[in-house]
């Protein structure tokens, strides 16, 4: 026994000495191993006779069912005089149907271990729902009832108007919101993408007939895709459920939405006067691209290198080195028929000039020289890793699929995402940056005190001063 213990002690001593002898460079992060290719759960696609597209994915990892019912019915479908209608419709869908009150909808969803809600975006209105898998039939019944039979009760509409008015007041108290709103107007002009928020007047004009008309016009089966994901019943049984809940839903032609042409990109400088502000919000924007564009992935990688986090160029230069801004970032949002690239920062009035100059220099630098190998590797790892993490839950997969389907993209877009990110080369980023990131044709919107920052802005070009909206 003593011999065995002695031998064991000797082995442990040799192992510890061997580890101690190894040189570990703690100044460098460990290398990120290659991510395995992402694969969706088995996908089955079909279409009901009424035109409702159906996507089924079997994922038995958890005893859950997740549903998305997505319509081409976002804020760009709002009538010209009733901005915010799609947003209101989404918020009120679950506030009462012909057979259920809002309380009954909420209680019945909770009783099956789930929830039902809806929200809108510029391009879509999506009903989201989930429950324990054993209650799939009850969940689908709730989703169908909300989509087909919402009544928009008068008391709920009135309460929504009051709450949305107060929320809009709160939003307009934030200079960042005002800058975003103005930038959309400058970039898109009269196109619906330029007006995605309601106004006090449009909220007051909201009524039940308008909501019902929106529902009956756009919330129809041939304008929707139904995604059902999770530990599903046998396919034949599930398709029978779907036919029972959605099969007699009548289809009809969806009228085209007037889409005035988007103005060509041009250089402009707009100052939204906000007297008394001690700092300013600066937003620089340019028309971007859709997800189907060959520039989408290079632009996504380039934007992240530029201002996608604490390792980005904008963060390190403008915040860390120069101390001009606490928050500074860039982003790219892809819409169905357009896109927006933007960079933003909040700066003190007294450093407006040098801060804006520094940001423009950084934006221009993306087009002048290729990104470095380390920047490219780090961002590819980051974007690939966060994307795969988002797809680890049923909710994440369902949400991404809803985006893909409403954008008109194939389902395998998700499986090819990380490969496309990792295939981006420096020259592709530089090419996209010359067209989109470089500030030569960018719109600059600043929200702040015109008396304090106007003279500094005039050094960058002609300034159009507008008044803050109330």
The residue out of 186, 213, 246 marking a domain boundary is 246
Q: Let me know if residue 9 belongs to a domain.
A: no
Q: Let me know if residue 32 belongs to a domain.
A: no
Give the CATH number of the domain where residue 433 resides: 3.30.830.10
Q: Are 407 and 399 in contact (CB under 8 A)?
A: no
pLDDT average, residue stretch 303-318: 95
pLDDT band at 81 (very low <50, low <70, confident <90, very high): confident
Q: Are residues 236 and 358 in the same domain?
A: no
Q: Are residues 52 and 175 in the same domain?
A: yes
pLDDT average, residue stretch 25-29: 64
Q: Are residues 297 and 217 in the same domain?
A: no
The pair of three-digit structure tokens given for residue 341, joined into one six-digit string: 């690239």
Buried/exposed 147-163: b ≥16 CB within 10 Å, e otherwise: bbebbbbeebbeebbee
Q: What distances in angstroms separate CA 303 from CA 88, 265, 322, 323, 328, one per listed residue? A: 33, 18, 21, 21, 13
Q: Are residues 450 and 327 in the same domain?
A: yes
List of residues 6+ apart from 93 with CB closer than 8 A: 118, 127, 146, 147, 150, 215
Q: According to the model, what pLDDT value does residue 142 have? A: 97
The residue out of 246, 281, 303 marking a domain boundary is 246
Residues of the chain with pLDDT > 70: what percent?
Answer: 92
Kindly report the number of other CB atoms within 10 A of residue 465's CB atom.
Answer: 13
Tell me the residue ranges of DSSP E strands in 231-312: 268-273, 279-287
Q: Are residues 308 and 210 in the same domain?
A: no
Distance CA 39, CA 36 (A): 9
Of the listed ranges 228-232, 374-378, 465-469, the least confidently predicted one is 465-469
Q: Let me know if residue 35 belongs to a domain.
A: no
Of the listed ranges 34-48, 55-69, 249-263, 282-296, the least confidently predicted one is 34-48
Q: According to the model, what pLDDT value does residue 39 have? A: 86
Q: Let me know if residue 263 belongs to a domain.
A: no
Q: What distances in angstroms separate CA 100 from CA 1, 65, 143, 149, 228, one per listed residue? A: 76, 22, 12, 9, 23
Report pTM: 0.89
Q: Are residues 275 and 330 in the same domain?
A: yes
Q: Are residues 205 and 332 in the same domain?
A: no
Q: Are residues 199 and 88 in the same domain?
A: yes
Alpha-helix runs per DSSP H in 26-174:
85-92, 102-111, 136-149, 154-172
Q: Are residues 353 and 279 in the same domain?
A: yes
Q: According to the model, what pLDDT value does residue 17 have? A: 52
- The pair phi, psi for residue 293, each rounded to 5°, is -75, 145
Q: Are residues 226 and 102 in the same domain?
A: yes
pLDDT average, residue stretch 89-109: 96
Q: Let me know if residue 10 belongs to a domain.
A: no
Distance CA 121, CA 196 (A): 8
Q: Let me know if residue 147 belongs to a domain.
A: yes
Q: Are residues 242 and 361 in the same domain?
A: no
pLDDT band at 406 (very low <50, low <70, confident <90, very high): very high
Largest CA distance in the chain: 91
The residue out of 246, 281, 300 marking a domain boundary is 246
Instruction: Give the CA radius of gyration of the chain.
Output: 26
Please tell me which residue, 189 or 25, carries the higher pLDDT value. 189
DSSP state of 30: P
List of residues 6+ apart from 92 with CB closer than 8 A: 150, 152, 156, 157, 160, 211
Number of domains present in the structure of the chain:
2
Distance CA 182, CA 342 (A): 13
Q: Are residues 292 and 242 in the same domain?
A: no
pLDDT average, residue stretch 133-140: 96
Q: Let me know if residue 252 belongs to a domain.
A: no
Q: According to the model, what pLDDT value does residue 84 have? A: 96
Average pLDDT, the chain: 92
The residue range of the domain holding 345 is: 268-467
Q: Let me know if residue 331 belongs to a domain.
A: yes
């Amino acid at each position: 026994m003593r011999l065995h213990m002695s031998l064991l002690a000797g082995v442990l001593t040799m192992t510890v000495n061997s580890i101690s002898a190894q040189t570990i460079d703690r100044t460098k992060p460990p290398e990120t191993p290659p991510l395995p290719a992402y694969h969706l759960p088995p996908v089955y696609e079909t279409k009901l006779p009424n035109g409702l597209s159906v996507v089924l994915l079997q994922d038995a990892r958890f005893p859950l069912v997740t549903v998305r019912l997505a319509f081409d019915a976002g804020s760009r479908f709002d009538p010209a005089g009733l901005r915010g209608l799609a947003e209101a419709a989404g918020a009120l869908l679950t506030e009462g149907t012909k057979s259920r009150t809002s309380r009954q909808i909420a209680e019945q969803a909770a009783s099956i271990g789930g929830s039902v809600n809806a929200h809108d975006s510029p391009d879509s209105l999506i009903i989201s729902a989930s429950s324990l898998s054993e209650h799939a039939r009850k969940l689908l019944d709730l989703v169908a009832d909300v989509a087909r039979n919402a009544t928009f009760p008068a008391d709920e509409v009135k309460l929504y108007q009051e709450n949305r008015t107060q929320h809009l007041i709160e939003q307009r108290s934030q200079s960042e919101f005002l800058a975003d709103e103005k930038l959309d107007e400058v970039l898109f002009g009269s196109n619906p993408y330029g007006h995605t928020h309601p106004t006090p007047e449009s909220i007051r004009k909201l009524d039940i007939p308008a909501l019902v008309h929106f529902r009956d016009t756009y919330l129809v089966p041939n304008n929707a895709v139904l995604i059902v994901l999770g530990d599903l019943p046998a396919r034949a049984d599930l398709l029978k459920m779907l036919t029972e809940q959605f099969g007699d839903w009548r289809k009809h032609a969806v009228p085209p939405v007037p889409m005035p042409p988007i103005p060509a990109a041009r250089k402009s400088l707009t100052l939204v006067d906000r007297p008394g502000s001690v700092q300013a919000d600066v937003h620089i924007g340019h028309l971007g691209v859709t997800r189907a564009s060959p520039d989408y992935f290079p632009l996504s990688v380039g934007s992240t290198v530029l201002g996608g986090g604490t390792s980005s160029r904008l963060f390190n230069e403008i915040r860390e080195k120069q101390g001009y801004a606490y928050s500074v970032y860039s982003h790219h949002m892809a819409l169905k028929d357009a896109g927006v690239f933007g960079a933003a920062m909040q700066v003190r009035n007294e450093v407006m000039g040098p801060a804006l100059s520094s940001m423009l220099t950084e934006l221009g630098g993306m087009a002048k020289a290729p990104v470095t190998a380390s920047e490219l590797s780090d961002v590819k790892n980051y974007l690939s890793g966060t994307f795969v993490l988002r797809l680890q839950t049923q909710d994440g997969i369902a949400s991404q699929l809803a985006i893909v389907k409403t954008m008109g993209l194939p389902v395998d877009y998700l499986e090819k995402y990380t490969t496309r990110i990792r295939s981006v080369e420096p020259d592709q980023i530089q090419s996209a940056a010359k067209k989109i990131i470089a500030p030569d044709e960018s719109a600059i919107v600043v929200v702040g005190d015109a008396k304090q920052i106007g003279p500094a802005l005039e050094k960058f070009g002609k300034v159009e001063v507008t008044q803050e909206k109330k």
